[in-house]
Amino acid sequence: MKEFYIDSDGVQIHAKLDIPDGVTNSPLCILIHGFTGHMEEDHLIAAQRAMNDAGISVLRAEMYGHGKSGGQFKDHTLFKWVTNALSVVKYAKSLDFVTDLYMCGHSQGGLLTMLIGGMCPDDFKAILPLSPAWMIPEITRNGEVLGQQFDPEHIPEKIMFGDRELSGDYIRTAQLLHVEDAIAKFRKKVLIVHGDEDHTVPYSYAQKAAALYADAKLVTVHGGDHCFVGKAGEMAAAVKAFFEEIYHT
Ligand code: FER
């Protein structure tokens, strides 16, 4: 494992690169955590190990205001995450040993994966959104975030949840994202893995995304919750099987 920082317009993005043992050239998958998450969460590690087992190098990166990266949580927006992810893609493309590139992310990182896939379709062989929170733009347009209601025409300065705060700028930028446009622009293979007991991101969004993508496969983790607690092995097996199939085609 190599640990380092990638510069993203002056923000230091904390990253870890795991290359499978004995590998020289290999595909690489960028792997991103969700909202309030970080790169050491159990479900992220399960996905990383599954990819390494399939011979894929993994570049985990933490986005603005999360983990050991720069920025404060309260100042993060999806626009900042997009900027960060584009910097990570640029870095990944500069690595000599990398053959094909992939991107995977959980929840808000899955939404990010869908956006970046649509922005950079030439750069990826496939993308893997896990429980992707792609309802965020739609619900913020409808005046809801984190289960709280607000007037979508008059965005509050901030929303409190627990001892954390989400800025109005998070909401106003999220409202302008149209994930359907990103879906339409990515016509390569997509693997969506989602638990049908997810009460944070409704499973129905996985079904809707799978239907909208030109070439998507949806693996349902039966009884799985948002972070695949107790079911990470099933999620990881789906990820590994997808890579084993695509690697050899
Ligand atoms: C929300 C529902 C889900 C939300 C964020 C999420 C900011 C993201 C969850 C995750 O990334 O795990 O209303 O608002």
**CA dist., res. 243 & res. 26, Å (int):** 12
- Tell me the C-alpha distance between 48 and 232, whole Å: 11
The CATH number of 2-247, from 3.40.50.300, 3.30.360.10, 3.80.30.20, 3.40.50.1820, is 3.40.50.1820
Q: Domain ranges for the chain, please list them.
A: 2-247
Between the CA of 98 and the centroid of ligand 1 the distance, in Å, is: 32
For 115-163, write each residue's pLDDT tens digit: 999 999 999 999 999 999 999 999 999 999 999 999 999 999 999 999 9
pTM, full prediction: 0.99
- Measured from the CB, is residue 31 less than 6 Å from ligand 1? no
133 lines ligand 1 (CB under 6 A): yes
Contacts of 180 (CB under 8 A, 6+ apart): 212
| SS3 category, 80 | helix
Atom of ligand 1 nearest to the CA of 109: 11
| pLDDT of amino acid 247 | 82
The one-character DSSP state at 74 is G
pLDDT for the residue numbered 109: 99
Segments of the chain scoring below 70 in pLDDT: 249
